[in-house]
């Protein structure tokens, strides 16, 4: 559902080459009646490209699919999820509808009341694959994480969980490619001539919608209330998020090797987290088109600040790739099925 957006298109691309999945139904209001390749010309010549977009009949879709991916704007999924679940099928929602556990917080940040608070409480599982694997495996309704929260939580959770850093005063300075704004928005900001050759901060002062999601995720993981400063920036590239995270070491004399060791242990069984050698730091290009999250760490011994840099492709690990990773977990498949490929370079 919502296949003609960037998240939906990326799902189609990934599922099309998944060895254990078959794409049986794609829906898009804009492209209804047309082949999927008319929305994504990159699919011409492939079987996925020949699929005809449907208007989006939920019953029809739920009848033939084992899992339905919802990739629409906020507000749609909370209207649709229960019908799919009632039909005995699973749901993976790429929107924000089931991410915030408190419906009041949802209303505050997304400016609309939550219409499925029961489902939110009883069924929704936050799909940060590396940190919630057990729950995801048993879930029928996944709230797939936001792109910024994925990059940030993977970078900060290990150190917060092990009390290596102070839980206050954390700064997250994130840089995103323009596809993060989605395909439909008509804001001047996202036009080529305005976004090109420019870096621009937005959502300053803690007003970006991903702030409560990041704080909730880290608070749950480390068991204490986290409040941090999150500042996103728009960068002239199509894909990619780089999150540069700054925190004060609880022990200012901690070595970078010890920090790296915490990451190595935490993510030992996580095939999609790459810890870069000490002194080496990821660029977003290293993750282009892949589901990997690259992490690099540095310690500034003069200031006692540890810097954790994480890079992801916002449309893959930050959206569709992690959704498929969660599908793999939910259906007992190999976690990496259909996602093993490294990124495109250059």
Residues 23 to 82 in contact with a copy of itself, rule: CB under 8 A: 40-46, 48-49
Nearest distance from residue 105's CB to a copy of itself, in Å? 13
Residue 346 makes contact with a copy of itself by CB under 8 A = yes
In sequence order, what are the residues at sequence separation of 6 or more whose Cβ sits closer than 8 angstroms to the Cβ of residue 245?
A: 152, 155, 156, 170, 171, 172, 173, 307, 308, 309, 310
Judged by beta carbon, residue 106 or residue 267, the one nearer a copy of itself is 267
Which of 163, 223, 334, 345 contacts a copy of itself by CB under 8 A? 345
Q: Of 142 and 309, which has the nearer Cβ to a copy of itself?
A: 309
Least distance CB 101 / a copy of itself (angstroms): 19
Distance CA 317, CA 11 (A): 11
Kindly tell me which of 104 and 300 has the beta carbon lying closer to a copy of itself. 300
In the complex, least distance from residue 341 CB atom to a copy of itself, rounded to whole angstroms: 5
Residues 262-321 that bind a copy of itself (CB under 8 A): 271-274, 276, 281-290, 292, 294, 296, 298-303, 305, 307, 309, 311
**Helices 321-330 and 6-16 sit at what angle, rounded to 10 degrees?**
50
Among candidate residues 266, 300, 319, the one with its CA nearest the CA of residue 156: 266
Asked if omega into 346 is within 30° of 0 (cis), the reply is yes
Q: What b/e string do you get for 163-173 counting C-beta neighbours within 10 Å, with b at 16 or more? A: ebbebeebebb
Q: If you compute the radius of gyration of the chain from its CA atoms, what whole number of angstroms results?
A: 20
Tell me which of 63, 169, 225, 255 binds a copy of itself, using CB under 8 A: 169
Per CB under 8 A, the segment of 74-82, 111-119, 148-156, 166-174 that binds a copy of itself is 166-174
CA atoms within 13 A on the CB side of 143: 21
**The one catalytic residue among 147, 222, 245, 293:** 147
- Binding test (CB under 8 A) with a copy of itself, winner from 2, 9, 145, 167: 9
CB of residue 188 vs a copy of itself: minimum separation in angstroms?
7
Among 256, 262, 333, 337, binds a copy of itself (CB under 8 A): 256
Is the separation of the CB atoms in 206 and 167 below 8 Å? Answer: no
In angstroms, how far is the first alpha carbon of the chain from the final one? 32
Choose between 113 and 202: whose C-beta lies nearer to a copy of itself: 202
Beta-carbon count within 10 A of 266 CB: 19
What is the Cα–Cα distance from 154 to 266, expressed in whole angstroms? Answer: 10
Q: Is residue 245 among the annotated active site residues?
A: no
**Residue with smaller CB distance to a copy of itself, 133 or 276:** 276
- CA 114 to chain centroid, in Å, comes to 21
# chain residues binding a copy of itself, by CB under 8 A: 94
Interface pick for a copy of itself out of 95, 244, 325, 326 (rule CB under 8 A):
244
d(C-alpha 222, C-alpha 157), whole Å: 7
One of 236, 257, 264, 269 touching a copy of itself (CB under 8 A): 236
What are the residues facing 124 on neighbouring strands?
141
CB of 186 to a copy of itself, least distance (A): 5
Residue 207 CB coordination number (10 Å): 10
Tell me which stretch binds a copy of itself (CB under 8 A): 62-70, 103-111, 128-136, 167-175.
167-175
Structure tokens that stand for 50 in this block: 């020949």
Residues between 173 and 232 with contacts to a copy of itself, criterion CB under 8 A: 173, 175, 177-179, 181, 183, 186, 188, 190-202, 204-206, 227-229, 231
- Stretch 88-117 residues interacting with a copy of itself (CB under 8 A): none
Active site residues: 147
């Amino acid at each position: 559902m919502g296949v003609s957006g960037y998240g939906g298109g990326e799902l189609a691309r990934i599922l099309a080459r998944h060895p254990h999945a078959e794409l049986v139904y794609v829906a898009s209001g804009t492209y209804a009646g047309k082949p999927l390749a008319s929305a994504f010309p990159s699919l011409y010549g492939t079987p996925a490209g020949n699929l005809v977009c449907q208007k989006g009949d939920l019953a029809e879709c739920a009848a033939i699919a084992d899992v339905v991916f919802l990739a629409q704007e906020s507000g749609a999924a909370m209207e649709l999820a229960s019908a799919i679940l009632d039909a005995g099928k699973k749901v993976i929602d790429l929107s924000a509808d089931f991410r915030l556990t408190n419906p009041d917080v949802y209303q505050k940040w997304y400016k609309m009341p939550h219409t499925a608070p029961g489902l939110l409480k009883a069924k929704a599982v936050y799909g940060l694959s590396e940190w919630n694997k057990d729950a995801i495996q048993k879930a029928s309704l996944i709230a797939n994480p936001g792109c910024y929260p994925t990059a940030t939580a993977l970078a900060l959770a290990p150190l917060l969980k092990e009390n290596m850093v102070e839980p206050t005063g954390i700064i997250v300075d994130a840089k995103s490619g323009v596809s993060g704004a989605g395909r439909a928005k008509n804001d001047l900001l996202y036009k080529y001539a305005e976004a090109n050759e420019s870096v621009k901060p937005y959502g300053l002062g803690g007003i970006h919608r991903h702030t409560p999601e990041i704080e909730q995720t880290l608070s749950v993981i480390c068991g204490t209330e986290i409040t941090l400063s999150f500042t996103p920036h728009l960068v002239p590239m199509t894909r990619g998020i780089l999150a540069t995270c700054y925190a004060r070491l609880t022990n200012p004399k901690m070595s970078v090797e010890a920090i790296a060791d915490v990451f190595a242990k935490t993510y030992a069984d996580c095939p999609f987290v790459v810890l870069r050698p000490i002194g080496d730091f990821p660029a977003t290009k290293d993750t282009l088109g892949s589901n990997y999250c690259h992490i690099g760490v540095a310690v500034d011994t003069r200031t006692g600040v540890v810097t954790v840099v994480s890079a992801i492709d916002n449309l893959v690990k930050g959206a569709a790739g992690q959704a498929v990773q969660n599908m793999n977990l939910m259906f007992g498949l190999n976690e990496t099925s259909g996602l093993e490929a490294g990124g495109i370079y250059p």
